[in-house]
């Protein structure tokens, strides 16, 4: 394992401080390193691997597609993409879908839709977005321009390119920042990297009304909180508020790199041939993964399972919050929850110690432990996680 790590440091561009482990294979909700050490996974590849590892039906679906057709480009139709688009439209109630290779690319496309929508009404203005502080939308320059965290933007986003930022869950702050140059508002329904902050129901409802009043597009980023993680297929369903543009990725392909953005009837037709494109997006292999993911969600009644296990996880994390005075707060919904720690209790050290003891868990921000396990975990896995976590606390 040390040789692999040394070679990784030598040959891979160091944009991550990786944990000192080389993962080799997985089974269910467990991962194994090259030395066959077993780890309980409560990170799911950052909320990606919803269906668990060595899922035979998922693997078989991908193997079958590999033998059939992997790629054609978007110059031609392919059946898996059409089937996947139909499923997304049926589930979301949106109008049309564009497939991407990642969540960041889905954000880029969503921003282009909102800007073009405004441009078609009045081409004379230099349009801008309103985004939320402490948000995270991706690493490309466009996605960074609406990411409300200066440490990610610094050195990469010119100030004139950056969005106008408002406080999440503060509708008055947003109203005060809307001008005739505002072309869209973007927010996560549950902030992930910012520390696991769910939207306030009244905030989302009023945000929808404000966007309608000013005829600007509302973009919901559900790349992390969508695809069943919060107990509904998409978290905005819990609020009864629909966006004009919806972005998704991560668990959409459960490990195969794929994302998408969907538009409602209002935004349909804004992008026309030549406005946007991708070589790989929506290829048969990626869309075969999407189709199998949706099939298993339905077959396993996975949303009901997430609600049941999410409630159990919530109870257990509430008990930890009451037990330890260094835990300041507990937030979240479904299987997207977080514990906030006092600054004197470094979360990074807890994550490292948990890894030593066979638990994979990740942080969100500087002082929040993030719990985003595979959606197929059971109560026994929650109990096992709590036990290891308390050892790490000690």
Question: Which H or E run contains 56?
Answer: helix 56-68
Taking Cα atoms as reference points, which of 132, 130, 42, 40 lies closest to residue 338? Answer: 42
Secondary structure (3-state) at 130? strand
Partner residues linked to 332 by β-bridges: 337
CB 263 within 8 A of CB 245: yes
Question: Does residue 64 sit in the same domain as residue 212?
Answer: yes
Structural domain includes residue 389: no
C-alpha–C-alpha distance, residues 187 and 46, integer Å: 19
- Looking up residue 115, the CATH number of its domain turns out to be 3.40.640.10
In sequence order, which residues have a C-beta less than 8 Å from that of residue 244 and are 6 or more positions away? Answer: 114, 211, 217, 218, 219, 263, 264, 266, 267
170/358 Cα distance (integer angstroms): 40
Domain C-terminal end among 283, 299, 315: 299
In a domain, residue 72? The reply is yes
Q: Could you tell me if 192 and 224 are in contact, meaning their C-beta atoms sit under 8 angstroms apart?
A: yes
Q: Quote the pLDDT of residue 154.
A: 87
Distance of alpha carbon 388 from alpha carbon 218, whole angstroms: 41
Same domain for 291 and 325? no
Statement to judge: residues 129 and 102 lie in one domain: yes
| Residue 14 and residue 111 in one domain | no
- Three-class HEC string of 249-267: CHHHCCCCCCEEEEECCCC
Shared domain check, 129 and 110: yes
Neighbours of 350 (CB within 10 A): 20
Q: What is the pTM of this model?
A: 0.96
228, part of any domain: yes
- Structural element, H or E, at residue 359: strand 359-360
Calpha distance 191→322 (Å, rounded)? 24
Please report, in angstroms and rounded to a whole number, the separation of the first and last CA atoms in the chain: 27
Looking at the structure of the chain, the number of domains it has is: 2
288 and 242 together in one domain: yes
Same domain, 97 and 210: yes
Q: Looking at the domain assignment, is residue 346 inside a domain?
A: yes
292 within domain boundaries: yes
Please indicate, yes or no, if residue 28 is contained in any of the structural domains: no
From CA 213, how far away is CA 199, in angstroms rounded?
21
pLDDT in the model for residue 366: 84
One domain, residues 94 and 181: yes
> How distant is the alpha carbon of residue 346 from its chain centre?
25
335 CA to centre of own chain? 12
| Bridge partners, residue 184, by sequence | 129, 217
The encoded tokens of residue 47 equal 């909320």
Domain of 12, CATH number, reads: 3.90.1150.10
For position 338, what pLDDT does the model report? Answer: 98
CA-CA distance, 334 to 312, in Å (whole number)?
9
The per-residue pLDDT string of the chain (394 residues; one tens digit each, 9 = 90 and over) reads: 999 999 999 999 999 999 999 999 999 999 999 999 999 999 999 999 999 999 999 999 999 999 999 999 999 999 999 999 999 999 999 999 999 999 999 999 999 999 999 999 999 999 999 999 999 999 999 999 999 988 888 888 877 788 999 999 999 999 999 999 999 999 999 999 999 999 999 999 999 999 999 999 999 999 999 999 999 999 999 999 999 999 999 999 999 999 999 999 999 999 999 999 999 999 999 999 999 999 999 999 999 999 999 999 999 999 999 999 999 999 999 999 999 999 888 899 999 999 999 999 999 988 999 999 999 999 999 999 999 999 999 9
d(CA 168, CA 155): 24
* Range of the structural domain that residue 354 is part of: 1-20+35-47+305-329+337-378
- Measured distance CA(330)–CA(327) in Å, rounded: 8
Q: Is 196 contained in some domain?
A: yes
Are 123 and 109 contained in the same domain? yes
Q: Are residues 288 and 313 in the same domain?
A: no
Residues forming beta bridges with residue 41, ordered by sequence position: 360
Is the CB of residue 75 less than 8 Å from the CB of residue 60?
no
Q: What is the DSSP letter of 204?
A: H
> Do 121 and 205 lie in a common domain?
yes
Same structural domain, 314 and 165 = no
Indicate the Cα dihedral angle 70, 75, 79, 84, nearest 10°: 90
């Amino acid at each position: 394992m040390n040789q692999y790590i040394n070679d990784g440091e030598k040959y891979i561009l160091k944009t991550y401080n990786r944990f000192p482990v080389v993962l080799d294979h997985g089974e269910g909700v467990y991962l194994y390193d090259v030395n066959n050490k077993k780890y309980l996974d409560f990170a799911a590849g950052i909320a990606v691997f919803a269906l668990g590892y060595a899922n035979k039906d998922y693997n078989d679906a991908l193997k079958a597609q590999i033998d059939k057709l992997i790629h054609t480009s978007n110059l031609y139709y392919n059946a898996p993409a059409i089937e996947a688009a139909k499923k997304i439209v049926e589930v979301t109630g949106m109008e049309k879908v564009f497939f991407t290779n990642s969540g960041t690319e889905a954000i880029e496309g969503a921003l282009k839709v909102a800007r073009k929508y405004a441009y078609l009404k009045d081409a004379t203005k230099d349009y801008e977005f309103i985004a939320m502080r402490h948000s995270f939308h991706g690493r490309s320059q466009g996605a960074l321009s609406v990411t409300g965290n200066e440490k990610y933007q610094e050195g990469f986003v010119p100030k004139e390119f950056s969005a106008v930022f408002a406080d999440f869950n503060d509708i008055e702050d947003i109203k005060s920042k809307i001008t005739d140059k505002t072309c869209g508002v973007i927010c996560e329904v549950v902030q992930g990297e910012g520390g696991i902050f769910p939207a306030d129901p009244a905030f989302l409802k009023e945000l929808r009304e404000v966007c309608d009043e000013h005829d600007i597009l509302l973009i919901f980023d559900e790349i992390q909180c969508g695809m069943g993680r919060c107990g509904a297929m998409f978290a905005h369903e819990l609020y009864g508020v629909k966006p004009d543009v919806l972005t998704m990725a991560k668990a959409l392909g459960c490990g195969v790199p794929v994302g998408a953005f969907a538009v409602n009837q209002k935004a349909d037709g804004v992008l026309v041939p030549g406005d946007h494109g991708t070589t790989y997006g929506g290829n048969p292999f990626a869309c075969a993964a999407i189709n199998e993911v949706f099939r298993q969600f339905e077959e396993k009644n996975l949303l009901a399972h997430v609600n049941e296990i999410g409630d159990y996880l919530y109870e257990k994390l509430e008990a930890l919050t009451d037990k330890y005075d260094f835990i300041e707060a507990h937030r979240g919904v479904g299987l997207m929850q977080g514990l906030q720690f006092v600054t004197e209790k470094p979360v990074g050290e807890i994550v490292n110690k948990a890894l030593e003891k066979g638990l994979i868990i990740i942080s969100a921000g500087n002082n929040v432990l993030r719990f985003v396990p595979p959606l197929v975990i059971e109560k026994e896995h929650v109990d096992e996680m709590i036990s290891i976590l308390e050892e790490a606390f000690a």
